[in-house]
Structure formats: C-alpha cells, structure tokens
Amino acid sequence: MDNLNIDLIRTFLIVSRLRSFSRASSYLYIDQSTVSKKIRQLEEWYGAPLFVRTARGVEPTIAGRNFAQHANQLLADFTALRQPAPLDWSSLRVGAFDNIAAYLFPDFFARHLADLDQLKIENEGVKLVDLFNAGDLDLVIINGSLSTAISGEYVDRCLKKETMCVLGRRPALTALGTVTQLADLRGQDLLLAPDYCPVTQEILRQRELFRHIRQVDYTATMLQLILQTDYLTILPAGMVAHLMLTTPELAGASLPDLPRRAVTAFAREQAVLDKVVAELLGDAKEA
C-alpha cells in the first residue's frame, strides 16, 4: 500500500491507547474486523508489525511504540492545519489613498508602519485597485466609487462618508460671502486633482461655472499655489478641517450638494476586513 491516511493513524492510536481491538471498535463505532483490517494496512505500509497479542489484549511492539511517537505529532500537526491561523499584522499587505491615510487614519498607519508585510500609499486610487486585482494587496482603503473597477469576489465596509468642502486663502473665500453650494463658486478659478478623482469628474461636468480649472497631481504643490493665489480647491472635509487648523491663512466651507466621498475598505477575506476595520474605527472613535 502506497497511501497513508489520517484515518489509519487515528485508528492505530486508539488501539494503542485502549490496548484492545474490540474496545477500539466500540469506541470508533465500527466492526472489529474493520479495525483489524486498518491495522494490517498500516503495518503493510510501515513494513513491520505494530502490535503483539497478549493475555490482556494487544501491546505495541517496539516498532509500534516508535511509530506512536511520530503518529501523535503527525495527528497534532494535522489538527492544527484545520484551525485558522492567527491573523498577524506581519502577514498583511495594505494599501491606502494618500489623504485617507494622512488625514483620517494617521494613528493606524503610524502604529503599523513597521509591522505590516507591505504598506502602499498612493495618490491615485486606481493604482491601488490594480494592485488589489493583481493579488498584490490584501486590503485597500479607497473611495467607494472605485468598486466598479475591482474584479473578482471581495468584501467591503464603508468607514466614513465625507462631505466635500471648498478651501482657499481666507481673503479669497471671504470675498465670496456665504458659500453653501457649488454654484456659489461661479466665475472662480479652481485647482483640482486629475481626472481619475471622482470629485474632479463631477465638477468637470459643470466646468461652465468656473473661469479657469487647472489640475495638479500633488497635494503639497496644490496647497502652496492656493496660499499664493486666489485659486480655490475642493477637498474632503477631514482634510480641510486639518488644514484650517494647521494653516490659519486658509478657510473652508461645506458643499453638501456634491456627492459625499464614501471612504471604503475592500478585502478578499472577511477575517482581514474585520481585523483592520475594527482598529480603524476604534481610532476614529477615539479621535
């Protein structure tokens, strides 16, 4: 016999422990002849007798005692294989959109900067989707509207829905008076992210409202330009709140008529999603 299976090993260990084929058959709810057949199969595979009959039943041979040591370990290893492995941070590959990582969940990324297997921060959400689709990331935190670009099965959780806000130098924004909707910015100059940004796509559909629209791929450059010109930009509320707090020259106003950004975590496995989301939302609650 060339094949060894767990059932034969388990039967052997029961016989070895009970010292009886008949008691083993009762324990396993099978015929004694079936127990004997399994032990013969195992002895044929092993190439030596594993039990010897005595007046008290059966006793393992020297070969049987040696086999039992390895069989117990093998059975323990097999049982361990059936248990879900602990989900360790060092096994996870996580990607996030730049301003989501920086302005919504900075504590999470600072805490796991060293222990994640891989951390990918991108200024372009579709690049993270490409990595996720290729199997190079286990979880991504991006704009929920990008779900249409994800291929294969996934699980997801919306972490936050953010209102969009206009941001600009305090004098430039104050001169406009009350701003409560996009139409209030008619005739203004805008700096926006490139076309891959869903908010930019929405605003470009109404481009006739504005005098000039320029697109800048880097947030740091955009903010410096805003501080030195009368251009305005439109960003998520969390980012705007942070910038107003740290840069007194800036002012902002909510634009509730724009679609809110659904900050969403996507993963292939529920256990991965649950582990990361529990900590992300815990950080958000503490903040």
pLDDT 10s digits, 130-143:
999 999 999 999 99
Distance CA 178, CA 184 (A): 8
Give me 165's structure tokens.
Answer: 């806000």
Question: So what's the pLDDT on residue 73?
Answer: 86
Label the pairing between strands 51-54 and 57-60.
antiparallel
Cα torsion at 19, 20, 21, 25 (round to 10°)?
Answer: -100
Higher pLDDT: 53 or 278? It is 278
Question: So what's the pLDDT on residue 161?
Answer: 94
Question: So what's the pLDDT on residue 83?
Answer: 67
Distance CA 160, CA 143 (A): 10
Residues 283 and 105 sit within 8 Å (Cβ to Cβ): yes
Task: Answer whether 0.85 is exceeded by the pTM.
Answer: no
Could you give the 3-state DSSP secondary structure of residue 111?
A: helix
Reported residue count of the chain is 287
Give me 166's structure tokens.
Answer: 């206009």
Distance CA 207, CA 189 (A): 10
The mean per-residue pLDDT over the stretch 77-97 comes to: 83
Question: So what's the pLDDT on residue 261?
Answer: 93
Residue 222 CB coordination number (10 Å): 20
pLDDT 10s digits, 216-237:
988 889 899 999 999 999 999 9
Question: So what's the pLDDT on residue 252?
Answer: 94
Distance CA 72, CA 98 (A): 51
Question: So what's the pLDDT on residue 285?
Answer: 59
89-160+261-286 has the same fold as 6-81: no
Label the pairing between strands 93-97 and 118-122.
parallel
Helical packing angle, 6-18 and 32-46, nearest 10°? 110
For residue 110, is pLDDT > 70? yes
Higher pLDDT: 247 or 56? It is 247
Question: So what's the pLDDT on residue 177?
Answer: 86
pLDDT 10s digits, 185-203:
999 999 998 888 888 988 9
For residue 201, what are the contacts with CB-CB under 8 A and spacing of at least 6?
A: 195
Average pLDDT value for the chain:
90
| In CATH, 89-160+261-286 is 3.40.50.2300 | no
For residue 148, is pLDDT > 70? yes
Q: Which residue has the tokens 């590959």?
A: 93
Nearest by Cα to 120 from 147, 138, 146: 138
**DSSP state at residue 279:** H
| In CATH, 164-254 is 3.40.190.10 | yes
pLDDT 10s digits, 7-25:
888 899 999 899 999 998 9
Q: How confident is the model at residue 4 (pLDDT cuts 50, 70, 90)?
A: confident
Distance CA 85, CA 87 (A): 6
Q: How confident is the model at residue 183 (pLDDT cuts 50, 70, 90)?
A: very high
The mean per-residue pLDDT over the stretch 231-258 comes to: 93
Least confident interval from 29-43, 68-82, 114-128, 270-284: 68-82
For residue 62, is pLDDT > 70? yes
6-81 belongs to which CATH class?
mainly alpha
User: What percentage of the chain has pLDDT greater than the value 90?
Assistant: 61
Domain residue spans of the chain: 6-81, 89-160+261-286, 164-254
